[in-house]
Amino acid sequence: MKIDKKLDKILKRVEKPARYIGGEVNSVVKDPTEVSVRMGFCFPDTYEIGMSYTGMQVLYNVLNKNPQIACERAFAPAPDMEELMRQEGMELFTLETFTPLRQMDVVGFTLQYEMSFTNILNMLDLAGLEVRREEREETDPVIVAGGPCAFNPEPLADFIDMFLVGDGEELLEQVLLLKQEASSKAEYLAKCGKLDGVYVPSFYDVSYNEDGTVRAYEKLVPDAPDRVRRAVLQDLDKAEFPTANIVPFIDAVHDRSVVETFRGCTRGCRFCQAGMIYRPVRERKKDTILDIAMKQLKNTGHEELSLLSLSTSDHSEFEDMATELMGLCKAQNVALSLPSLRLDSFSFKVLDEIQGYRKSGLTFAPEAGTQRLRDIINKNITEDDIYSAVEQAIELGWETIKLYFMDGLPGETFEDLDGIADIAKKIRDINYDIRGRKGGRFRITVSVSNFVPKPHTPFQWAPQDRPESFIKKHDHLREKLRMKGVTFNYHETKTSTLEAIIARGDRKVGSLIEKAWRMGCKFDAWTEYHAPELWEKAMEETGVTAEFYAYRERSYEEILPWEIIDPLIDRRFLERENEKAKQAMVTPDCRQGCAGCGMNKHVKCFYGVEEGRFPVNTGKEAAHE
């Protein structure tokens, strides 16, 4: 690919210029005159992060398989690159053809985390586009966005023309193909708006009560849906999955072959948004997974293979799959990585075999320090589970144990924090018992992250802890965890507050994001670039308060801004779960009986799971509600 002198000159002056040249093995370059629609797929963070994201590879593959569509990529340029581009008057371009993004028919952003939102505005601006949808021209590309954060699209509703909510493999392709059938933007949005999963913000007007809560959503277009149903892919096994992933030139955060084994999770942790919005569980068959994995390794030359799901060992054919994969990887000199395993004896056998004498750390996520609090959040793991696993791990030679917890959970007291220290201490003692008084090079890392309540979860009504409270809790934990061999990490409090504001924001939060960006905020997920003082100033100027969006407990009567999206799980289920949490009552895993979330009124649960492996829900179980 030839590039012009201006870009060539810039590339000589920036760090890691290979981020901006495309041309990687398996990237797809199409002749623009031979396709009917071109999409610029944007990841609002740097290349190394974006290229680690499997979802982009999935959609890139689906779209480029279609001869009518060209899907090209763009990432947020690092600050040194951005500065030179602005200086030289160069617009943001796609890596496939170096075409300015502005010349694409559709530009799409993936919404993976709230702290990337300022980068979206920045990328639009770098592309020479107005950030507000109302100010863009008819000839400008249609700006779409999808991904987990699209489940509350409202904070970005002023900037994005159309949101795609739910599984994207089929929906995005359908939406792009409709482009050629529409002669204007309005007509295009109207056509797309008829599909499940498409939310067009300009179809609704939102009015607010005096206290700032939502009064009503008024439809400006008569046939706009009352609520936008998320798109659901029923048969994951038959869905397209890439077998020739793009192989980056430079070191990406994750640069390996990946196969998604199943979507959804049956555990029902009450804080977990992924566990709610990706329901129901749909599996890819073991043989399909093995086949994809072997093709990917052949086509990429990767030296590592990983499996992707919310809980690896919950796949109904996990043991056979892991055993076969181990054999295949060993024969090809490929490292196998199995994240989020349930630590039973089978997993230990597997881990011991694949890690050999080079053991990485073992990670446990009890999330809360006492059984009472774990019951509140419905994290069904007991201390005995942890201790017996730790015992096995130490005996097999692991020397690093990582523990993940959250603080600021609903119903949390200082006793629960003490519980975190007790767990660390008990693990240290187990090591002393096994390896003797000195305990070897054994290390325990305790990481605590601040709880951020998320939309469409049982805790969506919950107040977030105030920064003073988080700081007090961190101080308390730091004292309690002052132990030899124990390291304590915790998250930046101000970032957590901001995340909570945006996560549960309404359309008014859009002005805060724009203001902050105009003041210079970008790369907010990067500690070195995040500027909390600018955000505070932007909050003052726009009147968006943490009091209202983060610290406030919402009532069941309130219309929540994200309820314009129907996640297909019943609101009553979320309320019931929230009430059970208040009484520390657990809800068992879906595999032990239907929890009645209402999903099975829309699609079949446990799709793709072989008869008899798990109780397959028929829908009758939901009758008890």
Binding-site member from 133, 136, 282, 302 for other proteins (CB under 8 A): 302
Span 167-226, contacts to other proteins by CB under 8 A:
none
Q: Indicate the residue type of 595.
A: A
Task: Say if residue 356 is exposed, middle or buried (CB neighbours under 10 Å; 0-12, 13-18, 19+).
Answer: exposed
Give the range of 11-19, 69-77, 187-195, 505-513 binding other proteins by CB under 8 A.
11-19
Q: Is 10 in the site for other proteins (CB under 8 A)?
A: yes
The least distance separating other proteins from the CB of residue 348, rounded to whole angstroms, comes to 24
Q: Is 128 in the site for other proteins (CB under 8 A)?
A: no
The least distance separating other proteins from the CB of residue 332, rounded to whole angstroms, comes to 8
CB hemisphere CA count around 508 (13 angstroms): 19
- Residue number, 250 or 483, with CB nearest to other proteins: 250
Cβ partners under 8 Å of residue 389, min gap 6: 343, 344, 348, 362, 364
Q: Is 97 in the site for other proteins (CB under 8 A)?
A: no
Binding-site member from 137, 186, 299, 600 for other proteins (CB under 8 A): 299
Binding mask 601-620 for other proteins (x = CB under 8 A): --------------------
Cβ partners under 8 Å of residue 236, min gap 6: 260, 262, 263, 282, 283, 284, 607, 608
Q: Is 3 in the site for other proteins (CB under 8 A)?
A: yes
The least distance separating other proteins from the CB of residue 440, rounded to whole angstroms, comes to 19
Binding mask 234-273 for other proteins (x = CB under 8 A): -------------x-xxx----------------------
Whats the size of the chain, residue-wise? Answer: 625
In three state form, how does the secondary structure of 89-147 look?
CCCCECCCCCCEHHHCCEEEEECCCHHHHHHHHHHHHHCCCCCCHHHCCCCCCEEEEEC
Angle between helical axes of 54-65 and 168-178 (0-180°, round to 10) = 40
Give the range of 23-31, 66-74, 157-165, 610-618 binding other proteins by CB under 8 A.
23-31
Cβ partners under 8 Å of residue 376, min gap 6: 270, 368, 409, 410, 411, 581, 582, 584
The least distance separating other proteins from the CB of residue 329, rounded to whole angstroms, comes to 13
Q: Is 361 in the site for other proteins (CB under 8 A)?
A: no
Binding-site member from 35, 297, 389, 393 for other proteins (CB under 8 A): 297
Q: Which residues of 74-83 are buried (b: 16+ CB within 10 A; e: fewer)?
A: bbbbbbebbe
> By the 8 A CB rule, do 41 and 120 touch?
no
C-alpha to C-alpha distance for 59 and 35, rounded to whole angstroms: 17
Other residues' Cβ atoms within 10 Å of the Cβ of residue 138: 7
- Residue number, 18 or 434, with CB nearest to other proteins: 18
Give the range of 5-13, 185-193, 223-231, 581-589 binding other proteins by CB under 8 A.
5-13
Residues near other proteins (CB under 8 A), total? 29
Run of H or E residues at 510: helix 509-518
- Residue number, 297 or 595, with CB nearest to other proteins: 297
Binding-site member from 298, 482, 582, 613 for other proteins (CB under 8 A): 298
| φ and ψ at residue 294, rounded to 5 degrees | -65, -40
- Residue number, 15 or 384, with CB nearest to other proteins: 15
| φ and ψ at residue 480, rounded to 5 degrees | -65, -30
Structure tokens at 215: 């009064």
C-alpha to C-alpha distance for 238 and 287, rounded to whole angstroms: 12
Binding-site member from 301, 327, 397, 543 for other proteins (CB under 8 A): 301
Structure tokens at 439: 């305990």
C-alpha to C-alpha distance for 278 and 155, rounded to whole angstroms: 21
- Residue number, 300 or 600, with CB nearest to other proteins: 300
- Residue number, 162 or 297, with CB nearest to other proteins: 297
The least distance separating other proteins from the CB of residue 7, rounded to whole angstroms, comes to 9
Binding-site member from 303, 324, 352, 563 for other proteins (CB under 8 A): 303
Span 25-64, contacts to other proteins by CB under 8 A:
25
Q: Is 17 in the site for other proteins (CB under 8 A)?
A: yes
The least distance separating other proteins from the CB of residue 334, rounded to whole angstroms, comes to 9
The least distance separating other proteins from the CB of residue 27, rounded to whole angstroms, comes to 9
The least distance separating other proteins from the CB of residue 400, rounded to whole angstroms, comes to 19
Binding mask 318-347 for other proteins (x = CB under 8 A): --------------xx--------------
Adjacent-strand bridge partners of 166: 231
Q: Is 24 in the site for other proteins (CB under 8 A)?
A: yes
Structure tokens at 273: 């948004």
- Which positions lie near other proteins, rule CB under 8 A? 1-3, 9-13, 17-18, 20-25, 247, 249-251, 297-303, 332-333
